Chains A and B, each alone.
Chain A
Amino acid sequence: AQSVTQPDIHITVSEGASLELRCNYSYGATPYLFWYVQSPGQGLQLLLKYFSGDTLVQGIKGFEAEFKRSQSSFNLRKPSVHWSDAAEYFCAFPLNAGKSTFGDGTTLTVKP
C-alpha cells in the first residue's frame, strides 16, 4: 500500500540555520507527493507539490523539496529558517479520488 514515513518526530534548529525535513515514500511507481505546514491552532497549508517533471520543486515561504527516486525520498529544505517557521510539517501522498495519506509529522522548533 502507498505510504509516507517521516523519520524525525521533532527537529530543533537555530534561526538562520538551514533545515531539512525527511520524507520517505513506499510506492511501486512514481508518486505524487505534497508537503503541508500546520501552524499552532491552524489548518493545513500546502507548501509545495510534486507531480512529475523537475525533481526540484519550489514552494511558498522559501521552501523547496527534491524528489529522489533512488532513495524513495522527498525531503523538504529551507536555506535559512525564520522563527515563524516553527510549526508541524506533514508529508502527504495523494491517493485516488482526491484524498491523501499523511506521514506522522515533524515538529519544528526554532531557537533564537
Chain B
Amino acid sequence: SAVISQKPSRDICQRGTSLTIQCQVDSQVTMMFWYRQQPGQSLTLIATANQGSEATYESGFVIDKFPISRPNLTFSTLTVSNMSPEDSSIYLCSAAIAGEEGNEQFFGPGTRLTVL
C-alpha cells in the first residue's frame, strides 16, 4: 500500500493568483496522478505525472493552466495557475501500485481550494 500526504489541506485564494499543491508518497511509485473533484461532482483525471518527463494531460486540461512537476518517484506538485472561481475544487493526488492481480490506486486526503 501507499500513504499519501498533501499540502496544503485547504486554501482560499484570490482570483488571478496561483497555488502549488504538494504531494508526498511514503514509498517509491511509478505512477502518480492528479484528479479534480468539483463541488458535488465525481473525480476527473487532470494528468499523469511522469517522472523525468512532461506530464500527460487529459482532454480539457493544459500545461499552462495546470503545470505539474515530478522530480522523483515519491513527490509531485500541481500548480493551479491564474485562478478563477471556476477552479474552486478539491484536488487529489493519487498513486498506483502494481498488485498481484492488477494496479491498485491510493489517494491523498485532497486539497480543498476556494477561489474568490
Contacts and interface: CB of A to CB of B under 8 A. Distances in A.
Interface of A: 32, 34, 36, 41-46, 49, 51-52, 90, 92, 94, 97-105
A97 B110 contact: no
A90 B107 contact: no
Contacts of B33: 98-99
Given A34-B105, A90-B43, 4 more contacts: A42-B109, A46-B105, A94-B105, A99-B33
B42 A102 contact: yes
Interface string B72-116: 000000000000000000001010100001111111111010000
Contacts, number: 56
A92 B45 CA distance: 12
Given A43-B109, A46-B106, A99-B96, A90 B101 contact: no
Contacts of A34: 105
26 contacts: A34-B105, A41-B112, A42-B110, A43-B4, A43-B107, A44-B43, A46-B104, A46-B106, A49-B104, A51-B101, A52-B101, A90-B43, A97-B31, A97-B48, A97-B96, A98-B33, A98-B96, A99-B31, A99-B33, A99-B48, A99-B105, A101-B45, A102-B42, A102-B43, A103-B42, A105-B41
Nearest to B96: A98
CB-based closest 4 A-B pairs: A98-B96, A98-B31, A51-B101, A43-B109
A21 to B, nearest CB: 14
A90 B42 contact: yes
A14 to B, nearest CB: 24
Interface string B22-47: 00000000110100000001110100
